Amino acid sequence: MIQIPKGCKDVLPSQVYAWHKLEDTARSVAQAYAFKEIRTPVFEHTELFARGVGDTTDIVNKEMYTFLDKGGRSVTLRPEGTAGVARAFLEHGLAGGVLPFKAYYLISAFRYERPQAGRLREFHQFGCELYGAAGAAADAEIISLADTFLKKLGLKEVALQINSIGCKHCRARYHEALKAYFAPHIGEMCGDCRSRFEKNPMRILDCKEEGCKAIAAGAPRMLEYLCDDCRAHFESVKNLLSKAGVGFTVNPSIVRGLDYYSRTVFEFVSAAAGAQGTVLGGGRYDTLLEQMDGKSVPAVGFAAGMERLLMVMEAENCMPPADMGAACYLAGMDAPSREKAFLLAEELRREGISCEVDLMERSVKSQFKYADKTGARFVAVLGERELAEGAAQVKDMRASSSECVKFEELANYIQRRL
């Protein structure tokens, strides 16, 4: 028996209603902020992620699903959504169009990670990207959108943490300070961190190894090295968030696992989302588009992990009620009434009423059992007498009452009572 690949999950019809709540909420909140959906390919040229996500990140170094296609080109299943959106934005010349450009996406993404609770190899993201606005209001709008989304899901125990990692100017000074701090400890750090020390010492702050974490705990904080512009930007973001009623704490250790960020970075964390705890992360990335195309376009965005959100929804009792069965089950007693049930169901479906008829050649008793098990709201029973009278016995499964309803009035009868 061939089984599902490690780190992937099936969503069965009995579970999909929770996904619908996530997706419907994402779409309606994105629309409230006037973001429009964008769809980009599941795979891209490997080079896009190597350059876009950054070659000092774990994603690019260890976690990408990269392969050669039949034409010998190296392609990669997207490990996240931002790089593809940025590519599409530039490729279609949207930088010269109406700005700000505001787009959202609901995608599957792929990372070759060690699977555990809340960490999968195929996972799903709801993401938003905003291009063209450099001011703090754009950061605040993106963070507020994320906050509204989580609140609309009913989540209360998810905490927003924000930080600023400065711009390339103030970060250069910070890197020097980090190097000076880590240099005496280099022998105690993991192999990855030793190479991070050379390439991007800030990445050490994101290491999951206990030894490195302990050393990083005493490292200098970026906030102390911010230049005046970055400090003023961060103050404005905090001010807007506070006034908008978006609660947050400043966590100076947030650096994010991708290379493209500058200035504001943020994460929404919950104890119920597995070892990592981050259900949503994002930030400003003013240099990514320039690195890709030479055009300087400021940008800010986030992505939420859908599987982690489901874990938190479960823990916080925010799961929606399971989908009901059909609005009406039409049971037939004999061959002519089964045929009539089939045709009546077709008519009702055209009116937008969800209906089921027996496809298993079951007895009336078993048809009733099926209707009950699947949660049908009404059961309309048809037999010889009903056909002669042109009316069905309609049982309301919730009220346990029964009424005789003319075939031509059936649609109306059900619609009024749903």
- Write out the residues near ligand HAM by the rule CB under 6 A: 80-82, 111, 113, 118-120, 123, 125, 127, 129, 257-258, 278-283, 285, 301-305, 307-308
Contact 315, 279 (CB under 8 A): no
Which is nearer to ligand HAM, 303 or 382 (by Cβ)?
303
- What CA–CA distance (Å, rounded) separates 266 from 284? 9
- What CA–CA distance (Å, rounded) separates 139 from 241? 9
Which is nearer to ligand HAM, 277 or 383 (by Cβ)?
277
Angle between helices 136-152 and 16-32 (to 10 degrees): 150
* 264-269 and 159-164 beta bridge pairing: antiparallel
> What is the nearest approach in angstroms of ligand HAM to the Cβ of residue 63?
8
> What is the nearest approach in angstroms of ligand HAM to the Cβ of residue 321?
25
Which is nearer to ligand HAM, 240 or 258 (by Cβ)?
258
> What is the nearest approach in angstroms of ligand HAM to the Cβ of residue 290?
15
Which is nearer to ligand HAM, 125 or 262 (by Cβ)?
125
> What is the nearest approach in angstroms of ligand HAM to the Cβ of residue 303?
4
Which residue, 232, 281, 286, 289, is CA-closest to 262? 286
Which residue, 229, 250, 236, 264, is CA-closest to 136? 236
Contact 330, 355 (CB under 8 A): yes
| Sequence-ordered list of residues with C-beta below 8 angstroms from that of 200, at least 6 positions apart, any chain | 54, 56, 175, 259
Structure tokens at 296: 């300087």
Which is nearer to ligand HAM, 219 or 258 (by Cβ)?
258
Which is nearer to ligand HAM, 56 or 125 (by Cβ)?
125
Which is nearer to ligand HAM, 293 or 396 (by Cβ)?
293
> What is the nearest approach in angstroms of ligand HAM to the Cβ of residue 306?
8
> What is the nearest approach in angstroms of ligand HAM to the Cβ of residue 154?
18
Position closest to ligand HAM via CB: 305
> What is the nearest approach in angstroms of ligand HAM to the Cβ of residue 254?
10
Which residue, 349, 286, 326, 347, is CA-closest to 136? 286
Integer Rg of the chain from CA? 28
